[in-house]
Amino acid sequence: MIRDLVRYADPRLFAPNAAADPAAPDFPGLLADMIETCRAAPGIGLAAPQIGINLRVAIVDLTVGAEPDALVVLVNPEILEATGEQKEDEGCLSIPDVTERVIRAARVRVRAADETGKVRELEGTGLLARAFAHEVDHLNGTLFVDRLRGLKRELTWKKIDRRKAKGLW
Protein backbone atom coordinates (compact mmCIF):
# COMPACT_ATOMS: atom_id res chain seq x y z
CA MET A 1 0.00 0.00 0.00
CA ILE A 2 1.26 3.45 -0.86
CA ARG A 3 1.34 5.53 2.32
CA ASP A 4 1.13 9.30 2.64
CA LEU A 5 4.53 10.94 2.75
CA VAL A 6 5.29 12.95 5.86
CA ARG A 7 6.62 16.36 4.92
CA TYR A 8 8.51 19.08 6.75
CA ALA A 9 7.58 20.39 9.38
CA ASP A 10 5.65 17.35 10.61
CA PRO A 11 6.97 16.52 14.12
CA ARG A 12 7.25 12.82 13.23
CA LEU A 13 10.34 13.70 11.16
CA PHE A 14 12.04 14.90 14.33
CA ALA A 15 10.70 12.41 16.88
CA PRO A 16 12.98 9.72 18.35
CA ASN A 17 12.97 6.45 16.38
CA ALA A 18 12.86 3.18 18.31
CA ALA A 19 14.84 0.06 17.37
CA ALA A 20 12.95 -2.06 14.85
CA ASP A 21 12.38 -5.82 15.11
CA PRO A 22 12.25 -7.66 11.75
CA ALA A 23 10.52 -10.57 13.56
CA ALA A 24 7.60 -8.35 14.63
CA PRO A 25 4.32 -9.38 12.95
CA ASP A 26 3.76 -5.98 11.35
CA PHE A 27 7.33 -5.63 10.04
CA PRO A 28 6.85 -7.27 6.59
CA GLY A 29 3.83 -5.06 5.90
CA LEU A 30 5.70 -1.94 6.92
CA LEU A 31 8.65 -2.82 4.69
CA ALA A 32 6.41 -3.63 1.71
CA ASP A 33 4.61 -0.31 2.12
CA MET A 34 7.92 1.58 2.36
CA ILE A 35 9.17 -0.04 -0.85
CA GLU A 36 5.93 0.69 -2.69
CA THR A 37 5.75 4.27 -1.43
CA CYS A 38 9.40 4.97 -2.32
CA ARG A 39 9.02 3.61 -5.87
CA ALA A 40 5.78 5.52 -6.44
CA ALA A 41 7.21 8.83 -5.23
CA PRO A 42 9.66 8.14 -7.01
CA GLY A 43 12.67 8.23 -4.72
CA ILE A 44 15.98 6.42 -4.21
CA GLY A 45 15.52 6.10 -0.47
CA LEU A 46 12.95 6.30 2.28
CA ALA A 47 13.06 6.17 6.07
CA ALA A 48 10.13 4.90 8.19
CA PRO A 49 9.49 8.30 9.88
CA GLN A 50 8.78 9.65 6.38
CA ILE A 51 5.59 7.57 6.41
CA GLY A 52 4.93 8.47 10.03
CA ILE A 53 6.41 5.35 11.64
CA ASN A 54 9.08 6.18 14.22
CA LEU A 55 11.16 3.03 13.87
CA ARG A 56 14.79 2.66 12.77
CA VAL A 57 14.11 1.24 9.32
CA ALA A 58 15.16 2.70 5.98
CA ILE A 59 15.49 1.50 2.41
CA VAL A 60 17.78 2.57 -0.41
CA ASP A 61 17.32 1.64 -4.06
CA LEU A 62 19.34 3.63 -6.56
CA THR A 63 17.44 1.94 -9.43
CA VAL A 64 13.98 2.96 -8.08
CA GLY A 65 12.67 -0.58 -8.52
CA ALA A 66 14.21 -1.30 -11.94
CA GLU A 67 16.55 -3.94 -10.47
CA PRO A 68 15.11 -5.87 -7.52
CA ASP A 69 18.62 -6.83 -6.33
CA ALA A 70 19.51 -3.17 -5.89
CA LEU A 71 17.17 -2.78 -2.91
CA VAL A 72 19.06 -2.32 0.36
CA VAL A 73 17.10 -2.75 3.60
CA LEU A 74 18.62 -1.01 6.61
CA VAL A 75 17.23 -2.11 9.97
CA ASN A 76 18.76 -0.34 12.97
CA PRO A 77 21.65 1.01 10.86
CA GLU A 78 24.80 2.46 12.35
CA ILE A 79 27.48 4.32 10.44
CA LEU A 80 30.79 2.63 11.22
CA GLU A 81 33.05 4.76 9.10
CA ALA A 82 32.69 7.79 6.85
CA THR A 83 35.71 8.91 4.86
CA GLY A 84 36.59 11.33 2.08
CA GLU A 85 34.32 14.03 0.75
CA GLN A 86 31.81 14.56 -2.05
CA LYS A 87 29.71 17.59 -2.87
CA GLU A 88 26.60 16.93 -4.96
CA ASP A 89 23.00 18.04 -5.23
CA GLU A 90 20.67 16.38 -2.79
CA GLY A 91 16.93 16.41 -2.21
CA CYS A 92 14.37 14.70 0.00
CA LEU A 93 10.82 13.43 -0.47
CA SER A 94 9.89 15.25 2.76
CA ILE A 95 10.98 18.62 1.35
CA PRO A 96 9.51 18.70 -2.16
CA ASP A 97 11.25 20.61 -4.96
CA VAL A 98 14.22 21.76 -2.90
CA THR A 99 17.69 20.58 -3.89
CA GLU A 100 20.98 21.89 -2.61
CA ARG A 101 24.61 20.87 -2.81
CA VAL A 102 25.51 19.00 0.35
CA ILE A 103 28.93 17.85 1.50
CA ARG A 104 28.93 14.16 2.42
CA ALA A 105 31.53 11.48 2.94
CA ALA A 106 32.68 9.85 -0.30
CA ARG A 107 32.68 6.40 1.29
CA VAL A 108 30.41 5.17 4.04
CA ARG A 109 30.47 1.85 5.87
CA VAL A 110 27.28 0.91 7.67
CA ARG A 111 26.23 -1.98 9.90
CA ALA A 112 22.54 -2.89 9.70
CA ALA A 113 20.23 -5.87 9.88
CA ASP A 114 18.36 -6.96 6.77
CA GLU A 115 14.66 -7.91 6.62
CA THR A 116 15.43 -11.34 8.11
CA GLY A 117 17.27 -9.82 11.08
CA LYS A 118 20.69 -10.84 9.81
CA VAL A 119 23.26 -8.18 10.67
CA ARG A 120 25.79 -7.36 7.95
CA GLU A 121 28.20 -4.61 7.01
CA LEU A 122 27.70 -2.66 3.80
CA GLU A 123 29.90 -0.20 2.04
CA GLY A 124 28.86 2.51 -0.36
CA THR A 125 30.68 5.10 -2.42
CA GLY A 126 29.34 8.03 -4.42
CA LEU A 127 25.54 8.19 -4.58
CA LEU A 128 25.14 5.04 -2.47
CA ALA A 129 27.29 6.55 0.31
CA ARG A 130 25.19 9.71 0.09
CA ALA A 131 21.95 7.73 0.30
CA PHE A 132 23.16 5.71 3.31
CA ALA A 133 24.15 8.91 5.12
CA HIS A 134 20.88 10.69 4.19
CA GLU A 135 18.68 7.82 5.43
CA VAL A 136 20.62 7.27 8.67
CA ASP A 137 20.30 11.03 9.24
CA HIS A 138 16.49 10.68 8.95
CA LEU A 139 16.54 8.03 11.69
CA ASN A 140 18.33 10.56 13.88
CA GLY A 141 15.84 13.35 13.09
CA THR A 142 18.24 15.19 10.79
CA LEU A 143 17.27 16.52 7.35
CA PHE A 144 19.74 17.22 4.55
CA VAL A 145 19.21 20.97 4.93
CA ASP A 146 20.53 20.68 8.49
CA ARG A 147 23.85 19.79 6.85
CA LEU A 148 24.11 23.14 5.07
CA ARG A 149 26.23 25.85 6.58
CA GLY A 150 26.30 29.66 6.73
CA LEU A 151 24.26 31.87 4.44
CA LYS A 152 23.19 28.98 2.24
CA ARG A 153 21.64 27.26 5.21
CA GLU A 154 19.77 30.43 6.18
CA LEU A 155 18.50 31.08 2.65
CA THR A 156 17.43 27.47 2.11
CA TRP A 157 15.47 27.34 5.35
CA LYS A 158 13.80 30.65 4.42
CA LYS A 159 12.86 29.19 1.04
CA ILE A 160 11.45 26.07 2.72
CA ASP A 161 9.44 28.06 5.25
CA ARG A 162 8.09 30.28 2.46
CA ARG A 163 7.00 27.29 0.40
CA LYS A 164 5.49 25.66 3.47
CA ALA A 165 3.60 28.89 4.36
CA LYS A 166 2.23 29.08 0.80
CA GLY A 167 0.72 25.67 1.35
CA LEU A 168 2.73 24.03 -1.44
CA TRP A 169 2.65 20.80 0.58
DSSP 114: -
Residue type, 89: D
Find the catalytic residue in 78, 121, 135, 154. Answer: 135
The CB-of-139 to Ni ion minimum distance in angstroms stands at 11
Stretch touching Ni ion by CB under 5 A, among 59-67, 79-87, 88-96, 111-119: 88-96
Cβ-based neighbours of 135, under 8 Å, separated by 6 or more: 45, 46, 47, 58, 59, 60, 74, 77
The CB-of-134 to Ni ion minimum distance in angstroms stands at 5
Stretch touching Ni ion by CB under 5 A, among 73-81, 87-95, 119-127, 151-159: 87-95
The CB-of-44 to Ni ion minimum distance in angstroms stands at 9
Q: Are 98 and 156 in contact (CB under 8 A)?
A: yes
Binding to Ni ion in span 18-47, by CB under 5 A: none
Among 5, 20, 92, 139, binds Ni ion (CB under 5 A): 92
Q: How far apart are CA 117 and CA 27, in angstroms?
A: 11
Residue type, 71: L
User: For residue 71, what are the CA distances in angstroms to 60, 84, 162?
Assistant: 6, 25, 35
Mark whether 85 is an active-site residue.
no
Choose between 30 and 143: whose C-beta lies nearer to Ni ion: 143
Stretch touching Ni ion by CB under 5 A, among 65-73, 78-86, 89-97, 117-125: 89-97
Q: How far apart are CA 119 and CA 110, in angstroms?
A: 10
The CB-of-23 to Ni ion minimum distance in angstroms stands at 27
Catalytic residues: 135
Chain residues binding Ni ion by CB under 5 A are 92
